Amino acid sequence: MKIGLCSDHRGYYLKSILVNKLKEKGYEVVDYGTDSEESVDFPDYAFKLGDAIVNGEVEKGIAVCGTGIGMSIALNKTKGVVCAKISNVSEAMFCRSHNNANAIAISEDINEDLAYEMSIKFVETPFSNIDKYIRRNKKIEMRENA
């Protein structure tokens, strides 16, 4: 599986750790930046990752910024991206199994071991394909396409 990651300057350190750990686990990883702790505008990197998800360059995306909120908002502005701002492992699982999210956004304040565990749970959890979740997700998709 190919996973894309991005961050702003505040998320750079945690993103770098996640890139390395995911590669060690055997995932193909594409790093969409940023490449330092120098101040940048997070939407620029969120849009790169969002476009990569929609275009099929990567299957799933992980974004890191100060709170995770900005990245989540920006990623969700890309049609076809479903990004959940998550803070724990159960949210990582449910955003996949119930909402079929293809991206997550996390805060750089999250402990690196927890961030890795959340990332793995997100990547490895399949969508449940239960009728009620399909129906609910379809309603959101219809609104997005209206």
Residues with a catalytic annotation lie at 65, 98
Asked if 82 and 24 touch (Cβ cutoff 8 Å), the reply is: no
* Rounded CA separation 24/27 (Å): 7
For the CA atoms of 18, 60, 126, 107, what is the dihedral angle to 10 degrees? 50
Long-range pairs of 52-57 with CB within 8 A, sequence gap ≥ 24: 52/4, 53/4, 53/78, 53/80, 53/81, 53/102, 53/103, 54/78, 54/79, 54/80, 54/81, 57/2, 57/4, 57/30
